[in-house]
Amino acid sequence: MPLFAIVVAALAIGFEQLIQWKYGPMGIIAFIALSVGLKAKNTVISGIGAVVLVMLLAQSG
């Protein structure tokens, strides 16, 4: 079980670094808002994070 937790944490950190590298500080802020909103079960914060991420993805595509 600890190995699984380490692998999941490494993947999360890797994904976070990828978002920051590709989309800059606004991408990391949106990713943090999305994850905090999901963790707290707050739909407003997670919705804001998701909308910002989608806007960043649409802008780069």
Q: Delimit the domains of the chain by residue range.
A: 2-60
Give the mean pLDDT of 22-49.
Answer: 90
Q: What is the mean pLDDT of residues 43-59?
A: 90
Residue whose token pair is 């993947």: 11
Please determine, for residue 46, whether its predicted confidence score (pLDDT) is greater than 70: yes
Asked if residue 61 has pLDDT above 70, the reply is: no
Model's pTM, two decimal places?
Answer: 0.70
Average pLDDT over the chain, rounded to whole? 86
The residue with tokens 């919705």 is: 47
Q: What is the H or E stretch that residue 18 is in?
A: helix 2-40
Cβ neighbours of residue 18 closer than 8 Å, sequence gap 6 or more: none
Query: Burial level of 7, CB count in 10 A (0-12/13-18/19+)?
Result: exposed
